[in-house]
């Protein structure tokens, strides 16, 4: 279904098909936010904690939120056959939920990426045919995050094509600068707000700006899910560190300060991705923070093996007041050319349990042998 847009000066509102999405962009008339420079200076000291912002009257309907890590399905022409249909078959049952969020690490555009220069230096550009948007919809994703370092691999024009492709199949998107995506679930409005380090996206280094946006989302919706593409990458980056993390010289944010600020502003669930490995989880003011879910899909173009192949699907039920009711971590693993399957060894459970205890102590999220989350 094609998107029907209503643009107003106070913001942009876009109704996305039958799923009941709204997309709001603060500021001047701007249907799609084009990348602009982002302030990447060191964050200022954190202000004193203040009470969470007033919320709308609670909805009586619990909401199941499912979140995954990075989605990398190769790059044209090296992409899964049949437009990726069946690629998620082994994990699709566990992707079923009211709100299903993934981090799309690619531009949905026609044509292959340009060749990298001989000097290279880790050059990579991920592009998928626009038809892959239909595969994400059929798999069950309702919102895909674009606040990462590959969503704009085809430039501003490619970013617009990506938004159009997702909109055409009724999949929402989040993460563009000043954007709030809202999905209606039964009687509840769920806001999904994304942040990253790429120009044109919500910035994890601008904590004050992120706080304002999350606070606004909390006023507009019953529940708020915050997604952050933050933290350094690599097999040696499984631990959450205090202070600013850097990767190849880039400021990848102070993930703990950012996540806590997001909860202080009204976020009910904060989930991270980007490090490409699993990280620990903590309880903060009664809310769950998962610092990285690793990779759910890594077709051919990303390195695999060891910790890079261990991932997880996070399933959380939030109650009427936004608080955690129940949750489960579904252990996954990348096999063959980067296809996700359920992990019979359930390595993610023990790994995240250990990392949580080592990094957060008494605030660590407990995980049973079956992957059930406990306090």
Residue ranges per structural domain of the chain: 55-113+124-374
Task: Tell the burial category of 49 from Cβ atoms under 10 Å away from its Cβ (0-12, 13-18, 19+).
Answer: exposed
Output the tens digit of pLDDT for each of the chain's 375 residues: 323 222 222 333 333 333 456 666 443 333 333 333 323 333 334 444 444 555 666 556 799 999 999 999 989 998 999 999 999 999 999 999 999 999 999 999 987 766 554 444 455 789 999 999 999 999 999 999 999 988 888 888 999 999 999 999 999 999 999 999 999 998 899 999 999 998 889 999 999 999 999 999 999 999 999 999 999 988 989 999 998 998 887 878 999 999 999 999 999 999 999 999 999 999 999 999 999 999 999 898 777 778 999 999 999 999 978 889 999 999 999 998 899 999 999 999 999 999 999 999 999 999 999 999 998
168-189 pLDDT per residue, tens: 999 999 999 999 999 999 889 9
Q: Quote the tokens at residue 143.
A: 């919102």
Is the separation of the CB atoms in 329 and 369 below 8 Å?
Answer: no
Closest among 265, 363, 250, 295 to 70, alpha carbons compared: 295
d(CA 285, CA 290): 14
Predicted TM-score (pTM) of this structure: 0.85
Q: Which CATH number fits domain 55-113+124-374: 3.40.50.300, 3.30.450.40, 3.60.21.10, 1.10.630.10?
A: 3.60.21.10
Neighbours of 320 (CB within 10 A): 17
β-sheet bridge partners, residue 340: 334
289-317 pLDDT per residue, tens: 999 999 999 898 777 778 999 999 999 99
Phi/psi for 131 (5° steps) reads -60, -20
Closest among 22, 283, 321 to 142, alpha carbons compared: 22
């Amino acid at each position: 279904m094609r998107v029907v847009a209503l643009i107003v000066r106070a913001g942009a509102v876009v109704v996305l098909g039958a799923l009941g999405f709204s997309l709001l962009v603060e500021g001047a008339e701007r249907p799609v936010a084009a990348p602009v420079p982002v302030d990447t200076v060191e964050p200022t000291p954190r202000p004193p904690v203040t009470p969470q912002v007033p919320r709308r009257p609670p909805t009586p309907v619990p909401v199941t939120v499912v979140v995954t890590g990075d989605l990398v399905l190769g790059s044209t022409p090296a992409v899964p056959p049949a437009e990726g249909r069946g690629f998620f078959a082994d994990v699709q049952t566990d992707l079923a939920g009211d709100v299903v969020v993934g981090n799309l690490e690619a531009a949905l555009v026609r044509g292959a990426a340009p060749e990298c220069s001989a000097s290279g230096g880790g050059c990579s550009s991920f592009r998928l045919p626009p038809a892959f948007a239909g595969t994400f919809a059929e798999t069950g994703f309702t919102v895909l995050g674009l606040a990462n370092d590959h969503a704009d691999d085809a430039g501003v024009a490619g970013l617009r094509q990506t938004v159009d492709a997702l909109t055409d199949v009724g999949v929402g998107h989040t993460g563009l600068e000043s954007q709030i995506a809202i999905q209606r679930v039964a009687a509840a409005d769920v806001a999904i707000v994304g942040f990253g380090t790429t120009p044109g996206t919500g910035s994890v280094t601008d904590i004050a700006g992120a706080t304002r946006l999350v606070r606004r989302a909390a006023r507009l919706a019953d529940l708020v899910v915050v997604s952050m593409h933050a933290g350094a990458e690599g097999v040696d980056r499984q631990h959450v560190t205090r202070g600013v993390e850097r990767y190849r010289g880039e400021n990848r944010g102070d993930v703990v300060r950012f996540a806590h600020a997001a909860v202080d502003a009204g976020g009910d669930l904060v989930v991270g991705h980007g490090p490409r490995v699993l990280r620990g989880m903590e309880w903060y003011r009664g809310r769950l923070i998962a610092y990285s879910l690793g990779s759910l899909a890594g077709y051919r173009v990303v390195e695999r093996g060891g910790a890079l192949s261990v991932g997880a699907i996070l399933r959380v039920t939030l109650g009427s007041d936004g608080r955690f009711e129940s949750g489960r971590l579904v252990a996954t693993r990348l096999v063959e050319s980067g296809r996700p399957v359920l992990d019979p060894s359930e390595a993610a459970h023990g790994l995240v349990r250990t990392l949580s205890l080592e990094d957060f102590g008494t605030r660590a999220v407990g995980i049973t042998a079956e992957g059930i989350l406990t306090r």
